[in-house]
Structure 1
Amino acid sequence: MNTDADQPRAFLATIPKLSYLLIFLPVVIVLKIAHADPIAIFICSGIAILGTVTLIGKATEEIAVYAGPLWGGLLNATFGNITELIIAMFGLVAGPTMYPVVLASITGSILGNLLLVLGAAMLYGGTKYQTQSFSRTGAHVNVGMLWVTLIMLSVPTVITLLPQVDPVFVEHPEWASTFVQESSLTAAILLLILYGLTLVFSLRTHRFLLRPDVEHHETAEWSKELSAGILLGATLCVAFLSESFVGAIEHMREAGTLQMSELFIGVIIVAVVGNAAEGMVAVWVARDNKMELSFQIAMGSCLQVALLVAPVLVIASYFLASEPMSLTFSLFEIASLGAAVLVSSAALNDGESNWIEGAMFLAVYLFFAVVFWFHP
């Protein structure tokens, strides 16, 4: 017979071990009150965020049991990207000096979900199952959408090079700045429209094509009410921790104590911390041969960053920041995004995965991580 004392123990047993890193939350509060070293706040905030997003991942995984793999993947990607969006919003408020880190975090989220998360899921699941499958229609549509987003994200960066090659802009270099802002805003609006259309496609008109062939029936460990409550509480914690995280980066920049390039911080550290929740869920479910859900989480999160988070940040910068943010990435960032799209195009269109394809994805990600580390 279960007693009231057994219920808390049973609940604690269902919480992922990494979620206990949330004990660093009070440490961050104390460090902020004491005006401690920004490096200490940066590290402790990052650790606490990792614990919080793991809790978000667990809560959304529970909701996915009630909602099914399509809605579950969407919810997991959405709430996983809330961390990324909140961190980036605080970066916008901090001012134009933080824009490179914000843009790098967008690049890192796309690379992290597409190459690191999906690659790790394919490798981890492939060590147990010789071949795993997911919707070919979904793969074709998502890869095509990746090419569209790559084009739109690349054009503003190309425009910044026009004063060096186009005679019109050589004579009037100031025109390029206006052109960049106009093209970035246009891209943001069109990407948001495309995001809405992808939701209609995947959740309504072509839902039957994207539904997995084999349904996995599970029993949720948490109620819907408990999952929603934990989701709300964890999101509020992420908001506070994100402000501390971004503030610490800004202080380190001003003090000249950053030991890593801004590109590495944005592309690797901020992106990995912000996307840890859905990343771990995608890898875990792949081991249970739920590659459709894993694919929906990783690819859905990747496209959501490109089609929703990036456009929202551009539009929000007109209201929250001292000057608008444009989609001007560095050439290394564009090159890494292009490589990721090429690799995914070659590997995903057949609707099947195996461990060697996962290893290929991870190799490309690790290569660019090292490149960004050595970037001055």
Structure 2
Amino acid sequence: MDDFLYAERADRVSLCTDHRPYIRIPARGLRGIARVLWTTFSWTTVFLPLIPMAIAVSKFRWSPDCVFWLNLVALLPLFGAFRYSTEVLSAAASPNVGRVWDSTLGAFNLDLAIAFIGIWRGQLIFAKSYIVGKVVASTLWSTGVCFVASGVRSAESSFDETMSHTLGNLLATAMVPFAILSVFPQTENHPPSTSSVLIISRGSSVVFLTIYSFYQLFRHKTHTAFFDPELFVDSQDEESSQQRRRPSSDIRDLGGWVTSVTIIGAATLGYVCSTLALRSMHESTSLTEEVVGFCLIPLLGEISEITKLSRFAYRDRVDFALEKAAGLAVQTMLFIGPLLCLFSWSLGQAMTFRLDLLELASLMASIYLFNGILRDGKSNYLEGALCLGLYAIETLALVVRSRK
């Protein structure tokens, strides 16, 4: 398939080089789409036929649960295609532009778009649960899977302590406003939904964005030695033999209009499936905003990425996997969370960082365990099992608590 899509042979007639534009242009477009689908191929690609099926069942007004689950699974291949296409555009740009992209626009994946849609629809509990669930999934699920994968091959793996401590301290700092706001109403003679909580939440959002800006300056400009520079470029030595056979110029060619069309198409279909899923969630008698926001949507985004992270961890590149997992958690708390809060403010809605006791306990326990296992700069499969076990317990507790 690589030879068919990428190899240019003089002895083979290609419609992409035909002199007739009405044949050449459509042929190049179809070849570009085929390259994107083949390059982003993973086990989630088999769910592509579910996209029209999920849209169709909603038009025939099937049960809300059926509509929700079909649209949720249909989002899996869209997550992968959207994420890979944005990475291609970032790689095609200059290094400085690529860093800015990764720090800002790189955070805008489809799961974040679903959270914005939820706020637009007034489902603030769902958006708040998404923030907590994304952090918990990144620190426990992704880290746990990577540690188990690395422990299969080696008894113990090491990673940079400075990098891990920096990420851990950022997470611990970002957790403080959530804890303060969860107990703040009990310290004043006000109900929990007063303007005081809103002022602290919105003020904390501005502070978070400032800290995130300093973190990006620290990471990309003043202390780049603390982070592995190979994390920000393609690791050709880690790719499969199929990927190595693909000409780099042809892969960069995907960064043009074909990649843009893929991003627009994935975003459009993602918007349709997300809207249908959130609407059916509201109509369902067995699904709640907390379960969907805390468990399903964050895990959906992690599943599309976990294959790559576990592969790098298995090849003793725990630094890469850990930086991606913990970096996503930091990005969620210091960048995505504030954006969601300020976006709700712009719509005149009162989204705050105040959590209930179960969500607060889950967030604190996740960050506490994450910082604990990073303390010695080494990992093993037992620590991965601890992360996965705690994630299972927190998810089970939330599901049981949220049963309708």
Pair 1:213–1:241, CA change in 2 (3 A): closer
Take 2:331 and 2:264, find their aligned partners in 1: how far apart are those partners?
18
Quote the offset at 1:12 in angstroms: 5.6
1:81/1:275 contact within 8 Å kept: no
1:90-105 matched pairs, under 5 angstroms: 90-95=117-122, 98-105=123-130
Aligned to 2:201: 184
Deviations 1:148-204 (A, max 9, x none): 0110222222223x2xxx4xx33xx25861110000001111111111111111111
2:71 pairs with one of 45, 50, 71: 45
1:359 pairs with one of 385, 400, 403: 385
Aligned to 1:206: 223
Deviations 1:236-259 (A, max 9, x none): 424543453344334443x4x331
2:152 pairs with one of 107, 113, 127: 127
Deviations 1:299-319 (A, max 9, x none): 111111111111000001122
Quote the offset at 1:32 in angstroms: 4.2
1:18-167 matched pairs, under 5 angstroms: 18-59=44-85, 75=102, 79=106, 81-95=108-122, 98-160=123-185, 162=186, 166=187
1:135/1:212 contact within 8 Å kept: no
Take 2:260 and 2:155, find their aligned partners in 1: how far apart are those partners?
35
Pair 1:339–1:11, CA change in 2 (3 A): closer
Aligned to 2:277: 248
Pair 1:42–1:79, CA change in 2 (3 A): farther
Bigger radius of gyration: 2
Take 1:356 and 1:86, find their aligned partners in 2: how far apart are those partners?
35
Amino acid at match of 1:123: V
Q: Give secondary structure in 1 for the equivalent of 2:290.
A: helix
Aligned to 2:252: 224
Take 1:12 and 1:81, find their aligned partners in 2: how far apart are those partners?
20
Take 1:258 and 1:80, find their aligned partners in 2: how far apart are those partners?
32
2:134/2:329 contact within 8 Å kept: yes
Q: 5+ residue gaps in structure 1?
A: none
1:259 pairs with one of 286, 311, 315: 286
1:118/1:283 contact within 8 Å kept: no
1:181/1:326 contact within 8 Å kept: yes
Pair 1:76–1:323, CA change in 2 (3 A): closer
Take 2:139 and 2:174, find their aligned partners in 1: how far apart are those partners?
13
1:326 pairs with one of 329, 343, 352: 352
Take 1:38 and 1:26, find their aligned partners in 2: how far apart are those partners?
17
Aligned to 1:298: 325
2:118/2:278 contact within 8 Å kept: no
Shifted more, 285-294 versus 355-364: the winner is 285-294
Aligned to 2:241: none
Pair 1:317–1:11, CA change in 2 (3 A): closer
Aligned to 2:212: 195
Quote the offset at 1:132 in angstroms: 2.2
Shifted more, 275-284 versus 354-363: the winner is 275-284
1:156/1:327 contact within 8 Å kept: yes
Amino acid at match of 1:259: S
Q: 5+ residue gaps in structure 2?
A: 1-6, 16-30, 238-243
Deviations 1:109-133 (A, max 9, x none): 0000110011101111210122223
Aligned to 2:367: 341
2:344/2:350 contact within 8 Å kept: yes
Shifted more, 215-224 versus 258-267: the winner is 215-224
Quote the offset at 1:55 in angstroms: 2.5
2:67/2:280 contact within 8 Å kept: no
Pair 1:73–1:112, CA change in 2 (3 A): farther
Pair 1:76–1:267, CA change in 2 (3 A): same
Amino acid at match of 1:131: E
1:56/1:277 contact within 8 Å kept: no
Quote the offset at 1:33 in angstroms: 4.2
Q: Give secondary structure in 1 for the equivalent of 2:349.
A: coil
Pair 1:107–1:81, CA change in 2 (3 A): farther
* TM score, norm. by length of structure 2: 0.79
Pair 1:62–1:129, CA change in 2 (3 A): farther
Quote the offset at 1:375 in angstroms: 0.7
* TM score, norm. by length of structure 1: 0.84
Take 2:103 and 2:85, find their aligned partners in 1: how far apart are those partners?
9
1:278-289 matched pairs, under 5 angstroms: 278-289=305-316
Aligned to 1:274: 301
Take 2:159 and 2:391, find their aligned partners in 1: how far apart are those partners?
22
Deviations 1:50-93 (A, max 9, x none): 1111234444666788899xx78984996465222210111111
Take 1:367 and 1:73, find their aligned partners in 2: how far apart are those partners?
37
Amino acid at match of 2:274: F
Take 2:164 and 2:172, find their aligned partners in 1: how far apart are those partners?
12
